């Protein structure tokens, strides 16, 4: 299995023309760009990185052109971590699953007491965010690398000067950030609180979630905080609110959160970095990095926290009855008349979802082993009687019995009531389990409880995260508000056991193959990537179409009577 996930693509490519294996590429995808971000190199010199999430960031770009052609380009993001690793022929910073000791004797001694004495890695190998007509390449570091989606990857200024949050006065005490930023494009008024009736949510913001901890003698015994902040159009970070961690010893970990027209919703979860374990790991020289410090606090129930976007006030803290943690939220929306928030997310019960991606674990993994055991759950938060005292408890209900991860939806429905999600999945019925030995690409009808899964799968294939592309965003087609929510295609790169890699284009409704394109000179590196996105090269036109679907709605007013 390590041969599947730890494939490297050490070379950069520019405008390699793809070869169609089967089918025909839909014409309405012309002028589109499919971007994938993820680890593309798992060693520096003779040193191998331990974990799949440690690989150095590489951007892959699939540019859809007329006459059914797709040009492929790829380039490493020249982060400080990547540049110094290539120059020194060894990893310079510690990564998620790889711990590094400095060569300098003085700093090497200090590293036994401070694992990040050289600083934090800025390896941005997880996702990309479309904001303010630019693409922000992100990870869990304090640096965001900015690029023009319409430019060639090999232009001198493809990646602009990184946005470094640690250089901001308000954010200089951030330790790390959440990997999934959320862009709020809604022009809907924010929640009107009793003491601030005229405030409204600004038109365009990009929200983030960070771990905040002041360094100094006076703050040594203070709890770390989870901080909600945002960037405005001028890339100026501003802190909205801060929520203390549950305990001093543990620093709770978050990978994603949700934004609705009125609220920000995240889960303070039991998965956390154990500070005592980190000290022991540092002293005794563990090579497994930050991942080795993560644990699940069995005595801590996950807490859903609801925050007003306009005031930063915490409106509700509600515990879940079961112990779980989540990496990816699917969607979150408001039911106005009932003053209810509906949160859908993929939930795990153990750390296997992270630990299985260590190199030594994947070497012994086979499809017959335990799978991730992840379920998409729905939590319904009633704001009528909710408060921030964490007394109320709720249970999540399974949206599907399938094993799922890497969910996506029609982006036009983000923050709104929706019907469909696409994901990597393994069906739950015994007959399908025997057939689907790796993972399939599935479409789940979230409004049904039975027989709600349709999927694409071929034996010996390993698909990457699916990306849904709505037909209504195409600049070559007239916008039609009556188009179905699932009218479009799903894109994913596929690796086969035979060594072949290709880009799969599926019909998003029935999950049948529309076209397959490969690049013989590039394979098998097409598996590179954790998260992906699609946009048309005219971002103003795309934003115009996106806004056309955001119908004006009422707001949840007087949440606190």
- Taking residue 332's Cβ as centre, other Cβ atoms within 10 Å add up to 25
Domain regions of the chain by residue span:
401-521+538-561
The CA radius of gyration of the chain, in Å to the nearest whole number, is 23
Long-range contacts of 225-231 (CB under 8 A, 24+ apart): 226/252, 226/254, 226/266, 226/268, 227/174, 228/264, 228/266, 228/307, 228/312, 229/170, 229/171, 230/205, 230/206, 231/131, 231/163, 231/205, 231/206
Checking phi first, is residue 5 left (phi over 0); if not, alpha (psi -120 to 50) or beta? alpha
pLDDT along the chain (561 residues), means of 10: 76 91 95 93 92 93 93 92 93 88 67 64 92 88 86 72 83 86 64 36 78 65 84 85 86 91 92 80 72 85 91 90 91 88 93 86 67 86 72 85 93 92 89 82 91 91 94 89 93 90 96 96 83 81 50 46 39
What does the alpha-carbon distance between residue 489 and residue 78 come to, in Å, rounded to a whole number?
A: 32
Residue 292, CA distances (Å) to 99, 250, 284, 409, 527 in order: 10, 14, 12, 32, 26
Q: Which pLDDT belongs to residue 524?
A: 77
Residue 254, CA distances (Å) to 115, 226, 268, 289, 560 in order: 21, 9, 7, 17, 28
What does the alpha-carbon distance between residue 422 and residue 407 come to, in Å, rounded to a whole number?
A: 6
What does the alpha-carbon distance between residue 401 and residue 450 come to, in Å, rounded to a whole number?
A: 9
The two structure tokens encoding residue 169: 């006065």
Q: Which pLDDT belongs to residue 102?
A: 72
Output the CA torsion 473→479→483→485 (10° steps). Answer: 30
Q: Which pLDDT belongs to residue 529?
A: 85
8 Å CB contact between 321 and 393: yes
Residue 193, CA distances (Å) to 258, 310, 340 in order: 20, 9, 16
Q: Which pLDDT belongs to residue 2?
A: 60
What three-state secondary structure class fits 84? Answer: helix
- Taking residue 86's Cβ as centre, other Cβ atoms within 10 Å add up to 16
Cis-peptide into 524, omega within 30 deg: yes
Q: Which of 25, 18, 159, 68 is closest to 491 using CA atoms?
A: 25
What does the alpha-carbon distance between residue 227 and residue 257 come to, in Å, rounded to a whole number?
A: 12
The two structure tokens encoding residue 159: 């990646």
N-term to C-term CA, the chain:
56
8 Å CB contact between 428 and 403: yes
What three-state secondary structure class fits 263? Answer: strand
What three-state secondary structure class fits 380? Answer: strand
- Taking residue 350's Cβ as centre, other Cβ atoms within 10 Å add up to 15
Residue 467, CA distances (Å) to 323, 489, 507 in order: 30, 8, 12
- Taking residue 19's Cβ as centre, other Cβ atoms within 10 Å add up to 12
- Taking residue 124's Cβ as centre, other Cβ atoms within 10 Å add up to 27
Phi/psi at 106 (nearest 5 deg)? Answer: -65, -50
8 Å CB contact between 536 and 148: no
- Taking residue 216's Cβ as centre, other Cβ atoms within 10 Å add up to 8
What does the alpha-carbon distance between residue 490 and residue 454 come to, in Å, rounded to a whole number?
A: 13
What does the alpha-carbon distance between residue 52 and residue 359 come to, in Å, rounded to a whole number?
A: 7
What does the alpha-carbon distance between residue 472 and residue 485 come to, in Å, rounded to a whole number?
A: 10
What three-state secondary structure class fits 544? Answer: helix
């Amino acid at each position: 299995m390590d041969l599947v996930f730890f494939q490297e693509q050490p070379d950069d490519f520019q405008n390699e023309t793809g070869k169609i294996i089967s089918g025909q590429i839909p014409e309405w995808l012309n002028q589109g760009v499919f971007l994938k971000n993820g680890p593309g190199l798992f060693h520096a010199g003779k040193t191998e990185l331990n974990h799949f999430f440690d690989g150095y960031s590489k951007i892959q770009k699939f540019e859809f052109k007329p006459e059914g052609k797709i040009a492929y380009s790829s380039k490493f993001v020249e982060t400080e971590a990547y540049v110094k690793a290539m120059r020194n022929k060894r990893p310079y910073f510690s990564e998620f699953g790889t711990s590094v000791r400095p060569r300098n004797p003085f700093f090497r001694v200090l590293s036994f007491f401070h694992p990040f004495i050289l600083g934090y890695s800025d390896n941005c190998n997880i996702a990309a965010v479309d904001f303010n007509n630019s693409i922000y390449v992100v990870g869990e570091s304090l640096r965001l690398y900015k690029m023009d989606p319409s430019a060639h990857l090999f232009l001198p200024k493809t990646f602009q000067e990184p946005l470094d949050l640690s250089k901001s006065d308000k954010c200089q005490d951030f330790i790390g950030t959440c990997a999934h930023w959320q862009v709020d494009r809604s022009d809907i008024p924010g929640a009107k609180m009793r003491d601030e009736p005229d405030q409204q949510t600004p038109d365009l913001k990009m929200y983030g979630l960070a771990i905040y901890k002041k360094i100094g003698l006076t703050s040594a015994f203070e709890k770390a905080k989870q901080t909600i902040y945002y960037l405005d159009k001028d890339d100026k970070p501003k802190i909205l609110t801060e929520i203390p961690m549950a305990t001093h010893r543990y620093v709770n970990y978050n990978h994603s959160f949700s934004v609705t027209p009125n609220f920000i919703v995240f889960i303070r979860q039991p998965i956390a970095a154990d500070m005592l374990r980190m000290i022991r790991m540092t002293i005794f020289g563990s090579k497994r990095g930050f991942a080795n410090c993560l644990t699940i606090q069995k005595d801590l129930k996950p807490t859903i926290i609801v925050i007003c976007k306009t005031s930063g006030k915490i409106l509700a803290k509600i515990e879940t009855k079961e112990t779980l943690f989540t990496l990816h939220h699917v969607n979150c929306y408001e039911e106005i008349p009932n003053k209810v928030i509906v949160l859908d997310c993929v939930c795990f019960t153990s750390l296997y979802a992270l630990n299985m991606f260590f190199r030594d674990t994947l070497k012994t993994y086979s499809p017959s082993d335990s799978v991730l055991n992840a379920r998409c759950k729905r939590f319904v938060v009633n704001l009528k009687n909710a408060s921030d005292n964490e007394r109320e408890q709720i249970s999540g209900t399974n949206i599907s019995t399938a094993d799922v991860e890497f969910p996506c939806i029609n982006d036009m429905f983000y923050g709104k009531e929706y019907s469909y999600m696409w994901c990597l999945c393994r069906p739950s019925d015994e007959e399908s389990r025997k057939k689907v030995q790796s993972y399939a690409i599935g479409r789940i009808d979230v409004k049904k409880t039975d027989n709600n899964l349709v999927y694409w799968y071929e034996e010996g294939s390993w698909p990457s995260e699916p990306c849904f592309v709505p037909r209504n965003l195409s600049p070559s087609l007239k916008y039609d508000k009556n188009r179905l929510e699932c009218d479009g295609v799903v894109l994913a790169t596929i690796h086969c056991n035979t060594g072949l890699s290709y880009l799969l284009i599926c019909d998003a409704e029935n999950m049948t193959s529309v076209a397959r394109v490969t690049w013989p000179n590039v394979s098998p590196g097409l598996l590179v990537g954790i998260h992906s996105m699609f946009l048309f090269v005219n971002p103003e036109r795309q934003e115009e179409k996106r806004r056309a679907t955001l119908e004006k709605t009422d707001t949840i007013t007087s949440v606190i009577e």
